[in-house]
Amino acid sequence: MIQQPRLDRGQAFPIYIMMVAGLLFLALAFFAVGKAAALRNDSQGAADAAALAAAQQARDDFGTGFYASLPANTLDIFLGAPFAPPCFEAERLAGANEADMTYCKPSFGYLRDLIKVKVEGRDPVDSPVLPGSEDKYAKAKATALIEFRCPNPKVIDADSNGVMDLFIFTCRNGKVIEIAPGSPPPWESVSTTLFDVRLVDQ
């Protein structure tokens, strides 16, 4: 019986090592891609939460201006709306989700506001197979819409003295809200009906 030379066995070992090294590299690469995707998802979640938090805070702050505008029947409540507290709230929510807010800006429109927020995650990708990844952080952005959904209220001057006694809002969701400027309801009880807050693509 003829035995196989030992030289052939020795030549197979380096090939085996190269195959193992290649598989290890691929595994690390897949892990890096997966980590980057996970960090991106986390940052997007932080951006969404921050934008919604800012929009909800802004809606909460609309009460004084909204009620003040009712006697004049202008409802011009969006102009000059206070946006410093909403952006502080966005920053707080971003931090709670392990991200840093890098941008927060409102834009005004007719009966609607947009708040755009950008965040950057705090954890780097930091993969040994991706050069420079130790300084790469996931970034994301989100836009929240605040929309007045009860336009064109019915105005009642009960005493015919030129003073508006009652505003009746019929909203797009079918709800009806009656507001007397002299004794308006608590803002928190009507704000979520008067204003819709949601994320939008921008």
In a domain, 67, yes or no: yes
**3-state class of 153 per DSSP?**
coil
In a domain, 89, yes or no: yes
C-alpha–C-alpha distance, residues 155 and 168, integer Å: 6
Structure tokens at 37: 């995707």
In a domain, 17, yes or no: yes
| Residues 50, 93 contacting (CB under 8 angstroms) | yes
Q: Which of 29-43, 79-93, 180-194 has the highest mean pLDDT?
A: 180-194
Task: Work out the average pLDDT over 118-137.
Answer: 75
Q: How many domains does the chain have?
A: 1
How do residues 138-168 score in pLDDT, each as one tens digit?
899 999 999 999 988 899 887 777 778 899 9
pLDDT in the model for residue 28: 60
Closest to 81 measured CA to CA, from 66, 102, 101, 103: 66
**3-state class of 31 per DSSP?**
helix
State which H helix or E strand residue 189 sits in. helix 187-194
Structure tokens at 27: 């595994």
In a domain, 166, yes or no: no
In a domain, 52, yes or no: yes
Among the residues of 62-170, which ranges form H helices?
63-69, 84-96
In a domain, 88, yes or no: yes
Which amino acid is located at 113 in the chain? D
Torsion angle defined by CA atoms of residues 191, 199, 58 and 82, in that order, rounded to the nearest 10 degrees: -140
In a domain, 162, yes or no: no
Domain of 45 in residue numbering reads as 10-148+194-200
In a domain, 111, yes or no: yes
| pLDDT at 40 > cutoff 60 | yes
Answer with the residue of higher pLDDT: 103 or 106. Answer: 103
